[in-house]
């Protein structure tokens, strides 16, 4: 019972406690968001350490991110005292643990222990060399594409010998397998490996060296895995090798499925455990740790599997009790995180997916003060950012911390509007899990072009893009430009133009420089005549920069193109290229606000496992969320993964949840009228409030008016019938608690800046 139980166990509910105290044998905790899965893992480690069942170095614990690993270590320290968590060398991500393993046994993979880990750029460069060495056309068979194929194989744990004929044939006229083999050999001679190898090498080492594996079986007395639903096949193989002991799993006992008993008092002692072999195993009883026992505990939620596109296999959860017979399967059904409204909305939404176990979630929270989930409409993304900024300030006035608030976006380009707005407001923010908008590679490149056009003496910018896209200007040529510039005390652009007219260079670089110089001369002239947004687009097109990403087959390329469009779109707010660049310089200068009170901005993918008091989810429109690409490429399963992503987003909120959709968004470079996301329609009315808006929406009440989605909207029709969100903008006269009372000039200015082409897509408005 609870009497005399250590502090760290108090406050756990019976099922959580069961999961913590069933330290022996396989355990799977399959439970919805916010039910305390991560808390169970943390407490379980604390329990194992506190009861002396294992030393810190005998616990293998896998988290999804390094940040999560740090936090887990910290919390264990809080539970049982800092001193006791020293030296948990095997708590980390699959990759960080993989590196450690590989360093210890590098020679078994044909490497030295000081091997280097290549990043994606290195990998692509290497593959390109191999493709060329094979005498293949690397335009027809792009290195990037093959790098992705290799990554896919490695996610499945497949080496060159394992890949299917068909798979290998699909690249370079059937030379795929040979290339893959050549790639691995090349890595070995370079004493290097890629990310996939960090898992694949250890797998192969374990298989080929039973002694080594046995050593780890003896070492790792306890294995724990968070976010189990997002493990890919290679990770799964790796885990199974480490967890499955030679003579385990040779019995016929069936799994024990422990469900939450309705009405059970939370303080009642847990039922006697049934161990993996069916025998009684009283909670807390000391058990000899057998060498062959599989003490593995995985926690996960099939509804939060959001990395299918990266090879994650949610089926791993289904197979758990086949791989680990006699597993105790524990369901947690009480959600401790969110209000009943938030939970109700999320549960209802995810119920639209077909491929799921299905589970109930409940909460004891019943505070009449808890508000419903708010759905808001805005005219466009600028207004969305403005309104969210004001809502945040309203929360601030009510003494809410910025640290407790987060904006979770579907696509990274959405961040730009928020960053800009928050800079203007002087509102602290931090971008988590990726560079800030203006720091992204493609944005910096584009800005470098613009900077040289606006200011021909900007050498740093010039140097960044003189050979972008690649025009065969090698280091030697660039050094020559440098030298000329220094000798004549002129900017590099001018030096380049001089060199292009001299005979100091070979014909090829000379022609390339001549083109660069002519381009900039032309663009600088256009600066006086062309509207700056148009000029910006022209620059990116004529320089070949847009095409460079269009021809790029990597997974990031479409996102980069989206970001570039968003960049051009954001320039509309400024009078000239120069004033825009000034603004950017200010934004870039803003600190990341580490350690300060700041709003978090991140993608939904990187928000997994986190929680915030108040969450804003902007951009709930068809085509953005669910994302068009996921629908195009993934069909039904693509849609279901998007819905799981929506579920992840909704369940990050503890108390306040605000969803937004806009009626106009720039898609593929054109203003389009958008349709509210089908996910909004899937939220239960009883838990949702369509937020009352301030007067500013009144001006275009018509654009949200009943049925208007179905007519005259560039052919986009709402396939979901009359939407109850159609009238959102029309309810504009009353004002709610956080009504947005900003005035109209913002959208009028945006309107004035629109081109004719965009007007046609604007829809009818009176
Ligand atoms: P996700 O699926 O989003 O990763 P999770 O199941 O891992 O969620 P946790 O993050 O562990 O859930 O817990 C959610 C919140 O509920 C945390 O703030 C946690 O501290 C709290 N919590 C969990 N269990 C309890 C409990 N028994 N009593 C009080 N609070 C709890
Ligand atoms: Mg968690």
Cα–Cα distance list, 646 to 319, 360, 408, 643 (Å): 26, 18, 10, 5
Distance 39 CA to ligand 1 centre (A): 6
- Looking at residue 584, its pLDDT comes to 79
Residue 27 phi/psi, 5° resolution? Answer: -135, 135
CA distance 710 to 717: 5
**Ligand 2 center from residue 339 Cα (angstroms):** 17
Residue 2 has pLDDT above 80, yes or no: no
Instruction: Reply yes or no: is the peptide bond before residue 626 cis, omega within 30 of 0.
Output: yes
* pLDDT value for 459: 83
Nearest to 25 by CA among 213, 249, 216: 249
pLDDT bucket at 590, cuts 50 / 70 / 90: low
CA 656 to chain centre: 22
DSSP state of 79: H
592 pLDDT more than 60: no
Output Rg (C-alpha) for the chain, integer angstroms. Answer: 29
Q: Is the CB of 574 under 6 A from ligand 1?
A: no
Query: Is residue 354 a contact partner of residue 640, using CB atoms and an 8 Å limit?
Result: yes
Q: Using one digit for the tens of pLDDT, what is the confidence trace for 189-218?
A: 888 889 899 999 999 999 999 999 999 999
Cα 69 to middle of ligand 1, angstroms? 16
Nearest ligand to the CA of 303 is 1
**pLDDT (tens digit per residue) in 527-575:** 989 999 999 999 999 999 999 999 988 778 888 998 899 899 888 878 8
Residue 138 contacts residue 229 (beta carbons within 8 Å): no
Return the higher-pLDDT residue of 585 and 250. 585
Residue nearest to atom 8 of ligand 1 (CA): 34
Residue 337 CB less than 6 A away from ligand 1: yes
Is the pLDDT confidence value at 602 over 80? yes
pLDDT surpassing 90 at residue 725: no
Q: What percent of the chain has pLDDT over 90?
A: 50
Question: How do residues 425-467 score in pLDDT, each as one tens digit?
Answer: 989 998 876 666 777 889 989 999 998 999 888 887 898 899 9
**How confident is the model at residue 70, as a pLDDT?**
82
Residue 639 CA, distance from chain mean position: 17
pLDDT of residue 282: 33
Q: What distance in Å separates the CA atoms of residue 521 and residue 93, rounded to the nearest whole number?
A: 51
d(CA 458, CA 435): 24
**Residue 412 alpha carbon to ligand 2 centre in Å:** 23
**pTM of the model as a whole:** 0.74
At 334, is the pLDDT very low, low, confident or very high (cuts 50, 70, 90)? very high
C-beta neighbour count of 471 within 10 angstroms? 17
Q: How far apart are CA 628 and CA 642, in angstroms?
A: 10
Confidence (pLDDT) at 246: 66
Mean pLDDT confidence for 377-401: 95
Q: Is 314 exposed, middle or buried (0-12, 13-18, 19+ CB in 10 A)?
A: buried
Tell me the range of 109-118, 371-380, 700-709 where mean pLDDT is highest. 371-380
Cα separation of 394 and 526, whole Å? Answer: 44
What is d(CA 515, CA 508) in angstroms, rounded to the nearest whole number? 11
Nearest-angstrom CA–CA distance, 52 and 23: 12
Q: Give the pLDDT confidence of 653-673 residue by residue, as tens digits.
A: 999 999 999 999 876 667 889
- Look at residues 452, 670, 454 and name the one whose alpha carbon lies nearest to residue 580: 454
Q: Is the peptide bond before 469 cis (omega within 30 degrees of 0)?
A: yes
Protein residue whose Cα sits closest to atom 18 of ligand 1 = 337
In whole numbers, what is the pLDDT of the chain averaged over residues?
81
| pLDDT > 90? residue 724 | no
Beta strands 27-30 and 296-300 are parallel
> What phi and psi values does residue 122 have, to the nearest 5 degrees?
-60, -45
pLDDT at 255: 53
Reported as a single tens digit per residue, the pLDDT across 46-70 is 999 999 999 999 999 999 887 788 8
With a threshold of 0.85, tell me whether the complex ipTM lies above it: yes
Q: Of all atoms in ligand 1, which is nearest to the CA of residue 304?
A: 2
Q: Whose CA is nearest to atom 16 of ligand 1?
A: 336
For residues 674-685, give the mean pLDDT.
Answer: 95
**Positions marked catalytic:** 37-38, 226-227, 304, 652
CA angle 338, 342, 347 (to 5 degrees): 105
Closest CA relative to residue 730, chosen from 758, 754, 708: 708
pLDDT of residue 434: 65
What whole-number percentage of the chain has pLDDT above 70?
80
pLDDT level of residue 719 (50, 70, 90 thresholds):
very low
Distance CA 261, CA 17 (A): 14
C-alpha to C-alpha distance for 357 and 31, rounded to whole angstroms:
10
Joined together, the tokens standing for residue 128 give: 């390109």
pLDDT score of 412:
87
**Rounded average pLDDT over 629-645:** 89
Question: For the residues 107-115, what does the mean pLDDT come to?
Answer: 90
> For residue 589, what pLDDT is reported?
57
Residue pLDDT, tens place only, 280-323 = 333 333 333 344 568 999 999 999 999 887 777 777 887 888 88
Residue 222 to residue 242: CA distance in whole angstroms: 10
Q: What is the reported pLDDT for 662?
A: 96
The residue whose CA is least distant from atom 11 of ligand 1 is: 36
Three-state helix/strand/coil letters over 475-540: HHHHHHHHHHHHHHCCCHHHHHHHHHHCCCCCHHHHHHHHHHHHHHHHHHHHHHHCCHHHHHHHHH
- pLDDT at position 569 is 86
Measured from the CB, is residue 34 less than 6 Å from ligand 1? yes
Please state, in angstroms and rounded to a whole number, the distance separating the CA atoms of residues 153 and 172.
16
């Amino acid at each position: 019972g609870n009497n005399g139980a250590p502090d760290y166990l108090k406050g756990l509910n019976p099922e959580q406690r069961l999961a913590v105290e069933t330290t022996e044998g396989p355990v799977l905790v399959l439970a919805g968001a916010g039910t305390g899965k991560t808390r169970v893992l943390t407490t379980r480690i604390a329990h194992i350490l506190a009861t002396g069942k294992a030393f810190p170095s005998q616990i293998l614990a896998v988290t999804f991110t390094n940040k999560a690993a740090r936090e887990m270590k910290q919390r264990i320290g809080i539970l049982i005292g800092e001193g006791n968590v020293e030296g948990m060398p095997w708590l980390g991500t699959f990759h960080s643990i993989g590196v450690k393993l590989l360093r210890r046994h590098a020679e078994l993979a044909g490497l030295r222990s000081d091997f280097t880990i290549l990043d994606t750029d290195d990998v692509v460069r290497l593959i390109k060399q191999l493709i060329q060495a094979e005498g293949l056309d690397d335009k027809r068979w792009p290195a990037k594409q093959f790098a992705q194929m290799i990554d896919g194989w490695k996610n499945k744990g497949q080496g060159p010998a394992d890949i299917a004929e068909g798979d290998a044939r699909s690249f370079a006229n059937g030379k795929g397998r040979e290339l893959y083999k050549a790639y691995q050999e090349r890595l070995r001679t370079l004493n290097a490996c890629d990310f996939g190898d960090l898992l694949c090498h250890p797998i192969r080492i374990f298989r080929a060296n039973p002694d080594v594996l046995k050593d780890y079986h003896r070492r790792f007395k306890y294995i724990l895995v968070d976010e189990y639903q997002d493990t890919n096949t290679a990770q799964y193989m790796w885990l199974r090798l480490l967890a499955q002991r030679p003579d385990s799993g040779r019995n016929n006992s069936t799994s024990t499925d422990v469900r939450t008993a309705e009405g059970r008092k939370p303080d009642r002692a847990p039922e006697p455990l049934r161990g993996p072999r069916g025998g009684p195993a009283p909670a807390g009883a000391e058990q000899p740790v057998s060498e062959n026992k599989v003490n593995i505990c995985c926690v996960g939620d099939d509804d939060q599997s959001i990395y299918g596109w990266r090879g994650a296999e949610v089926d791993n959860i289904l197979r758990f009790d086949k791989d680990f017979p006699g597993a105790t399967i524990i369901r947690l059904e009480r959600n401790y995180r969110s209000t009943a409204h938030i939970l109700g909305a999320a549960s209802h939404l995810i119920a639209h997916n077909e491929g799921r176990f299905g589970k109930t979630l409940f909460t004891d929270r019943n505070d009449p003060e808890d508000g419903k989930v708010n759905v808001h409409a805005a005219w466009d993304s600028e207004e969305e950012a403005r309104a969210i900024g004001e809502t945040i300030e309203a929360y601030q006035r009510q003494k809410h911390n910025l640290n407790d608030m987060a904006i979770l976006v579907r696509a990274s380009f959405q961040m730009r509007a928020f960053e800009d707005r928050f800079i203007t407001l002087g509102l602290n923010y931090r971008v988590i899990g990726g560079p800030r908008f203006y720091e992204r590679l493609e944005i910096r490149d584009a800005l470098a072009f613009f900077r040289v056009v606006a200011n021909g003496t900007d050498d740093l910018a010039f140097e960044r893009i003189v050979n972008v896209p690649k025009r065969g200007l090698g280091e030697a040529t660039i050094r020559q430009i440098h030298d000329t510039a220094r000798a004549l005390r002129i900017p590099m652009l001018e030096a380049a133009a001089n060199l292009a007219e001299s005979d100091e260079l070979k014909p090829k670089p000379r022609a390339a420089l001549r083109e660069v110089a002519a381009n900039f001369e032309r663009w600088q002239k256009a600066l006086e005549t062309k509207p700056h947004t148009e000029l910006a687009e022209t620059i990116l097109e004529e320089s070949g920069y847009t095409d460079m990403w269009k021809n790029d087959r990597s997974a990031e390329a479409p996102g980069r193109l989206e970001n570039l469009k968003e960049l051009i779109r954001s320039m509309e707010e400024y009078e000239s290229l120069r004033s825009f660049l000034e603004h950017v310089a200010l934004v870039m200068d803003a600190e990341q606000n580490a350690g300060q009170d700041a709003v978090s901005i991140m993608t939904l993918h990187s928000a997994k496992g986190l929680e915030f008091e108040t969450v804003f989810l902007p951009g709930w429109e068809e085509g953005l969320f669910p994302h068009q690409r996921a629908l195009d490429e993934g069909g039904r399963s693509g849609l279901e993964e998007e819905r799981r992503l929506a579920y992840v987003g909704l369940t990050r909120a503890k108390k306040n949840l605000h969803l937004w959709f806009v009626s106009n968004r720039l898609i593929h470079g054109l203003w389009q009228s958008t349709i509210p996301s089908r996910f909004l329609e899937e939220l239960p009315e009883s838990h949702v409030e369509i937020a009352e808006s301030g007067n500013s929406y009144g001006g275009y009440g018509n654009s949200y008016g009943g049925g208007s989605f179905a007519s005259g909207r560039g052919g986009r029709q709402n396939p979901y019938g009359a939407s109850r969100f159609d009238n959102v903008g029309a309810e504009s006269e009353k004002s709610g608690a956080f009504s947005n009372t900003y005035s109209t000039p913002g959208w009028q200015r945006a309107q004035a800046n629109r081109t004719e082409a965009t007007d046609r897509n604007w829809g009818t408005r009176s």
